[in-house]
Every structure is written in structure tokens, then in C-alpha cells.
Amino acid sequence: MSTPFLSVKNLSKTYPNGVQALRGVSFDVNPGEFLVVIGLSGSGKSTLMRCLNRLQDPTAGEIFFEGHDIGKLKSGEEIRALRRKMGMIFQHFNLIPRQSVLKNVLMGKLGQKKTAASIFGLFTDTEKSEALSNLKLVGIADKASLRADSLSGGQKQRVAIARALTQKPALLLADEPVASLDPATCHVVMDYLKKVNQELGITVIANLHFLSLVRKYATRVIALKDGEIVFTGKPEEITQEWFQKIYGEGTQDVAPDVL
Amino acid sequence: MLRRTFFDAFCFAFLLCAGVVAVFVSAEEQLLNLIQDLVVVLVALAVGAGISLLFKKFKIRTLGSVLFDLPTSEQGHPWYRSFWGWQLIVLLVVSFAVALAKTEFSFVELLDQNGFAGAVRLFKGLFNPNWEVLPRAVLNIIETIFMAFLATSIAIPFAFVLSFFCAKNIMRGTVGYMVYLILRTILNVTRSIEALIWAIIFSVWVGIGPFAGMLALMIHSVASLAKQYSEMVESVEEGPIEAIESTGANKLQTIWYAIVPQVVLPYISFTVYRWDINVRMATVIGLVGGGGIGTMLIQYQGQAMWREVGCIIVVIAVVVWALDLASAHIREALK
């Protein structure tokens, strides 16, 4: 095997208030994978994501991305260059309300634009058509001129995916992308993430809760508990025993497998 | 513990001082010796602190300990059987008595025959306005409105830029926090000086007239708007900021795309309200030479021309009422 696409070694993160969110986490990600991270709330999943694109600074350990240790980047310029290569979507979508859907998608280009041009909202026709084609990809090109806060939850998350795609990322980080959606919309959004993964070849790392979704979409799973990896393997290897070990005794999946 | 002792010391010292003044002082001149006053006050504070600590020792709950200490698990006495309840009542009664004495409160003067007749004359004038001065009053209130408008407009860009430097969630890191602290202090000091004082300063600086009033209102508006704006910035949602940062955007782009859209409506709302406040303040500022309707008002008042004053008051009332209504409707629509 060649060198992995992303390699995390002994990653630790302690917050200023003393909470140890991650304790020596190590794993590799290969290009084109759909890696799912599972674990209880507070097990360190979100912190892990935010260390990868440096919204948080790791306390110790290394993160190798495209051959560089990105955990040690100091200058703002280098960190921004890194973030351009990683798209991110969030549980609460984090769109900018009162702005059009298209404008929200265009914001994916901010990292590559000159400050002055972006302050005056000058986006080129090429950028606009790129944003539109990304909206088409997630099936809501017809909503481009609507205000972002007029959309439903599922539509908002699709806009957020389009925004992340406009960055032309090599890696897509999805922090609980469906945790605030209803079960039906859940699958729609997950299907688009799968499409992005398979058709565009973008590596995806997603935090999920439902075992049924994990089994359907993941190519590989890691499970975090108290900031440590307790399981690595194929999704079908997570038996009921493993599930209870990760989530605690007596836990049942919210949406049992009826697929 | 410190706050409790200080509070109680202050309470007891106040009672002691009030007692000392009531018993020993017959003429105000006796109180003009600063050193002597200071000694008395300090001694009273020390005695007060001593009493507070004594109560602490005997585990009697004082008002200070009810306010500042952690609640204890004692069974609740009804308030009239507790020490702190009586402490509060005595404090309020003594404060009220001191206030009555200090404001020279007197029913005799309120119901005095001559004084009452004067007031009747005044009201007769006010309710029978002389409409001949109406054109001049309208011209002057227009001056006042635009004085307030210009002051608000000029204040907006300054307050807008300052607001981001005065928001804790943007000014992170040691240097950022220092800038935040310094700016906040400067703005707080500026704001604590009333627009009236600024008007006096500027009427000496640039001469009596609307320009001085405008400058006074502007300084005050910059400080007030910057504070209100920055509080809005501090309460924005973190999510969109994170999202824009994760696209690789820099600080300025993040502020422009993630924060500004969230605060622009409240900003407009505050600004409309500030203009409304400024019109009212501009009237008062006119009294000390800030131009506009206030200057006109003080001239007629000085000559006891109550019918003319009545007309001016009507004009002011109508404009303030209309602006208040308009700004309320605009702010409601902006929600």
C-alpha cells in the first residue's frame, strides 16, 4: 500500500478547562474512503474533526495530510491554505440566513479570493456557474435565488454540501450531518454524500449516530469512547455486543435495521 | 466575604453618619471641612466593619450576608423576626428621612398661595399658545432634527468599525484583549459624560450654535452605538463563523460574511432609535447653547413669555411623538 491520504498519530487534545477530549488517537484514511466515526456525545468526535481542519489546535500528536504534518502549522496563511482543501458540513448547517442560496454556495470560494473582491461581493461568471452546477449536483438548482432561511432542514444541508464542494476539496468532513433531520431526509442527505464520495472521488469522514446508517454508507468505521479509539473495522463487523460496548449497556439503536 | 463585610460596613457607617449629623450638626458650614468629614466617615466605616464581623462571629445573618453569601440551610424565620429584615427597614426609613431633609421637601411651599397663583399664570400661558411664533419654531425644530440626523449619520461609520474592535469574541489573544480593554474604557468614559456636558465643551470650542450641538450629539452617539453594536457582535451565533472559517476565509472575510449579515438588522434598529433619542437630546442641548429649538425655548423662558413657550412645547411634543411612533414602527418591521 502507498502512503495513506491522511494519517493521524497519537493525537491528543486537552481544552483549557482541563477536559481531555482526545487521548492518543491514531488512524489512517485512504483516498476515496467513506470513513464513519461513531461514539457517544462527548466522546471526542467533533473535536477530532475540528483538529483535522485546525478549527481547534491539537495539544499533542501528528496529523499527516498529503505528506505534511498539518498539526504543527502555525501561520494563519498556512492554516487557511489547508482549510481550502477540506470542506466541512455541520449538524446545524451553519448557512448564512437572509442571504440567497447561491450566495451561500459562493462562500465556498472565499478562501481562494482576494479580500477586496470578496468584500464587494464580486464573484466571476465562472464561479457562479460552478456554484450552480454544484447546486444541480445536490438537486436544488431551482432554489438558487431563494433565501437560505426559507429552506427546510434537508435542503439546507444539501446547500451546505454544495458550499463545501465549491471549495473543490480533497476531503469532506461531515460533523453529524443528519443529527437534526427526520429519518426520511436523513437518507436523502446521506445519499448525496455517497454520491459525492463515489462520483467525485472525494474522501468523506462523517460523524454518525445511527447504526443502520453506518451499515448502509460507511466503507470503514472507527468508534471513539472517552477520547480513545475502541473499535476499527468494517461496518458489518459491529455486532450488537460491540455496539453496546461503544454506547453502554442496554443501548438499542434508534432506527433498527429494516433495510 | 469581602463584599458582605464592605456592604454591611457601608450600611452601618451610613446610619452612624446620619446619626452624627442629626445630633451634632446644626449648620451646613460645619460639613465643609473635608479632612474632618473624611475622618468621621472612615471611623464610621471601621466601626461598621467591626460590627459586621461581630455579627459574623455570633452567626447572625446581616443584609450583606443574605445578599452576597451562599444561602445557608437554616430554617427560614419570617422576615420580621430576622436581623436583616429590620436592618433593611431601618436603612430605608433613615434614607427616606435624609432624602426629605436634603430636598427641602415642604407641603407649605407646594400649597403656598402666591406660588400657586404664579403656576396658574404659567399654565394659562402654556395652554393658550401664541401661534405667531409657530413659523420660527418650525424652522428651529427642523434645524434640531437635522442636527440629530447629521450627528447620527457621522457616528455610524465610526461606531461600526469600533464595534468589532470592542467585541470580546473577535478580539482574541493577548494583544486583541488589550485593545478591547483600552477601547472599552475610552468609550465608557466618553459615554458617562452626558451630551449636555459635551455641548458646553463644544459651545466654547466652536461657538454657540447648532454645530456645537451636533458635535456633542455625535461624540455621545459614537460611544453609545459602538457599545450597543459590539454587544450584538458578541451575541452572534458561532456556527456560521465556524462554517466560513472552514472554507479558508481570512478574518476580514469571516467578519463580513458570517457576522455582518447577522447584525445588520439590529444595527439599523439601534440607529433609528439613536436618531430618535438624539432629536430629544438635541432639544435639551439647545438649552445650553447647542442651537435649534432648545435655544429658542430658553430665550422665551428667560423672558417669562409663557404663551410663546407654550407654542414651542406643542411643536416639540408633536415632533417627538411622531418620531417615536415612526421609529417604533420601523424597528418592529425590522425584526
Point out the domain boundary residue: B105, B137, B170. B105
Question: How confident is the model at residue A258, as a pLDDT?
Answer: 42
Distance CA A46, CA A209 (A): 12
A159 contacts A101 by C-beta, under 8 angstroms? yes
B161, B236, B246: which to substitute to probe chain A, counting the most A Cβ within 10 Å?
B246
User: Is residue B119, in this structure, part of any structural domain at all?
Assistant: no
The stretch B169-175 carries a mean pLDDT of 85
The answer to whether residues B90 and B155 belong to one domain is no
For the purposes of burial, counting CB atoms within 10 Å of the CB of B137, is it exposed (0-12), middle (13-18) or buried (19 or more)? buried
* Of the candidates B282, B237, B243, the residue with the CA atom closest to the CA atom of residue B262: B237
The answer to whether residues B138 and B215 belong to one domain is yes
Please state the three-class secondary structure of chain A as a single string: CCCCCEEEEEEEEECCCCCEEEEEEEEEECCCCEEEEECCCCCCHHHHHHHHCCCCCCCEEEEEECCEEHHHCCCHHHHHHHHHCEEEECCCCCCCCCCEHHHHHHHHHHHHCCHHHHHCCCCCHHHHHHHHHHHHHCCCHHHCCCEHHHCCHHHHHHHHHHHHHHCCCCEEEECCCCCCCCHHHHHHHHHHHHHHHHHCCCEEEEECCCHHHHHHHCCEEEEEECCEEEEEECHHHCCHHHHHHHHCCCCCCCCCCCC
| Distance separating the N- and C-terminal Cα atoms of chain A | 34
The stretch B15-28 carries a mean pLDDT of 84
A222 DSSP β-pair partners? A37, A232
Whose cell is 446644626? That residue is: B26
The answer to whether residues B9 and B145 belong to one domain is no
Whose cell is 491514531? That residue is: A26
The answer to whether residues B134 and B244 belong to one domain is yes
B285 contacts B217 by C-beta, under 8 angstroms? yes
Identity of the amino acid at B56: K
User: Is residue B86, in this structure, part of any structural domain at all?
Assistant: yes
Contacts of residue A93, defined as CB under 8 A and 6 or more positions apart, other chains included, come to A153, A156, A157, A159, A160, B239
* Of the candidates B191, B328, B229, the residue with the CA atom closest to the CA atom of residue B272: B328
The answer to whether residues B328 and B190 belong to one domain is yes
In angstroms, the separation between the Cα of residue B226 and the nearest Cα of chain A is 22
Chain A: residue whose CA lies nearest to B241: A94
Q: How many domains is chain B partitioned into structurally?
A: 2
User: Is residue B121, in this structure, part of any structural domain at all?
Assistant: no
Tens digits of residue pLDDT in B205-217: 998 888 999 999 9
CB contacts of B247 in chain A (<8 Å) are 83-84, 87, 107-111, 163, 167
Q: Do A55 and B245 touch (CB under 8 A)?
A: yes
Number of CB atoms found within 10 A of residue A75's CB? 8
Question: How confident is the model at residue A1, as a pLDDT?
Answer: 47
User: Is residue B110, in this structure, part of any structural domain at all?
Assistant: no
What mean pLDDT, rounded, does chain B reach? Answer: 88
Number of CB atoms found within 10 A of residue A43's CB? 23
At A75, the pLDDT band (50, 70, 90 cuts) reads confident
- Judged against a pLDDT cut of 60, whether residue A256 lies above it is answered with no
The answer to whether residues B12 and B150 belong to one domain is no
Whose cell is 501528528? That residue is: A62
B211 contacts B282 by C-beta, under 8 angstroms? no
B276 contacts B323 by C-beta, under 8 angstroms? yes
Q: Do B244 and A115 touch (CB under 8 A)?
A: no
CB contacts of B240 in chain A (<8 Å) are 94-96
CB contacts of B258 in chain A (<8 Å) are 96
Tens digits of residue pLDDT in B79-138: 777 888 888 899 999 999 989 888 888 888 888 888 888 888 888 888 888 899 999 999
Residue A87 touches chain B, beta carbons under 8 Å:
yes
The C-alpha cell that represents B14 in the structure block: 451610613
The answer to whether residues B20 and B157 belong to one domain is no
Q: Do B253 and A55 touch (CB under 8 A)?
A: no
Contacts of residue A27, defined as CB under 8 A and 6 or more positions apart, other chains included, come to A7, A8, A222, A229, A232
pTM of the model: 0.76
User: Is residue B40, in this structure, part of any structural domain at all?
Assistant: yes
Question: How confident is the model at residue B72, as a pLDDT?
Answer: 65
Chain A: residue whose CA lies nearest to B238: A94
Query: Which ipTM value was assigned to this complex?
Result: 0.89
HSE, side-chain direction, 13 A CA sphere, residue B124: 7
User: Is residue B224, in this structure, part of any structural domain at all?
Assistant: yes
CB contacts of B253 in chain A (<8 Å) are 110, 113, 115, 118-119
The answer to whether residues B65 and B212 belong to one domain is no
Tens digits of residue pLDDT in A100-156: 999 999 999 998 888 888 888 889 999 999 999 999 999 999 999 999 999 999 999
Residue A23 touches chain B, beta carbons under 8 Å:
no
Distance CA B261, CA B248 (A): 19
- Measure CB to CB from residue A115 to each of B240, B252, B265 and give the nearest one: B252
Number of CB atoms found within 10 A of residue A207's CB? 22
Number of inter-chain CB pairs under 8 A, A vs B: 78
Phi, psi at residue B125, to the nearest 5°?
Answer: -65, -45
Identity of the amino acid at A141: A
> Which range marks the domain in which residue B80 is found?
2-105
Question: How confident is the model at residue A2, as a pLDDT?
Answer: 59
Question: How confident is the model at residue A259, as a pLDDT?
Answer: 41
Number of H helices, E strands in chain B: 15, 0
Distance CA B322, CA B328 (A): 10
What mean pLDDT, rounded, does chain A reach? Answer: 89
User: Is residue B212, in this structure, part of any structural domain at all?
Assistant: yes
Q: What is the CATH number of the domain that holds B186?
A: 1.10.3720.10
User: Is residue B176, in this structure, part of any structural domain at all?
Assistant: yes
In angstroms, the separation between the Cα of residue B256 and the nearest Cα of chain A is 7
The C-alpha cell that represents B81 in the structure block: 423576626
- Range of weakest confidence among A184-188, B107-111, B325-329: B107-111
Alpha helix segments (H runs only) across B59-209: 63-68, 83-102, 107-110, 113-126, 134-165, 173-192, 195-205
The answer to whether residues B138 and B42 belong to one domain is no
- Judged against a pLDDT cut of 70, whether residue B76 lies above it is answered with no
Residue A207 touches chain B, beta carbons under 8 Å:
no
Residue A51 touches chain B, beta carbons under 8 Å:
no
Whose cell is 394659562? That residue is: B124
A55 contacts A9 by C-beta, under 8 angstroms? no
- Measure CB to CB from residue B246 to each of A88, A97, A112 and give the nearest one: A88
The stretch B150-159 carries a mean pLDDT of 95
Question: How confident is the model at residue A130, as a pLDDT?
Answer: 93
Q: Which of residues 150-189 of A touch B (CB under 8 A)?
A: 160, 163, 167, 173
Residue B71 is given by DSSP the state: P
Tens digits of residue pLDDT in B239-279: 999 999 999 999 999 999 999 999 998 899 899 999 989 99
Q: Which residues of B207-223 are buried (b: 16+ CB within 10 A; e: fewer)?
A: ebbbbbbbbbbbbbbbb
Question: How confident is the model at residue A193, as a pLDDT?
Answer: 94
In angstroms, the separation between the Cα of residue B14 and the nearest Cα of chain A is 43
- Judged against a pLDDT cut of 80, whether residue A240 lies above it is answered with no
Number of CB atoms found within 10 A of residue B240's CB? 25
Chain B: residue whose CA lies nearest to A116: B253
- Measure CB to CB from residue A107 to each of B257, B262, B265 and give the nearest one: B257
The answer to whether residues B162 and B77 belong to one domain is no
Query: Residue B27 — left, alpha, or beta (φ > 0 → left; ψ -120 to 50 → alpha)?
Result: beta
Could you tell me whether strands A6-14 and A86-89 are parallel, antiparallel, or unpaired per DSSP bridges? unpaired
- Measure CB to CB from residue B239 to each of A90, A110, A115 and give the nearest one: A90
- Measure CB to CB from residue B244 to each of A82, A86, A110 and give the nearest one: A110
Point out the domain boundary residue: B72, B105, B138. B105
Residue B82 is given by DSSP the state: S
Identity of the amino acid at A213: L
**Length of chain B (residues):** 335
- Judged against a pLDDT cut of 90, whether residue A173 lies above it is answered with yes
At B6, the pLDDT band (50, 70, 90 cuts) reads confident
Distance CA B48, CA B68 (A): 17
Could you tell me whether strands A86-89 and A171-174 are parallel, antiparallel, or unpaired per DSSP bridges? parallel
Whose cell is 464580486? That residue is: A122
The answer to whether residues B172 and B265 belong to one domain is yes
In angstroms, the separation between the Cα of residue B186 and the nearest Cα of chain A is 29
The answer to whether residues B179 and B36 belong to one domain is no
Contacts of residue A223, defined as CB under 8 A and 6 or more positions apart, other chains included, come to A37, A38, A39, A229, A230, A231, A232, A238, A242, A246
Residue A119 touches chain B, beta carbons under 8 Å:
yes
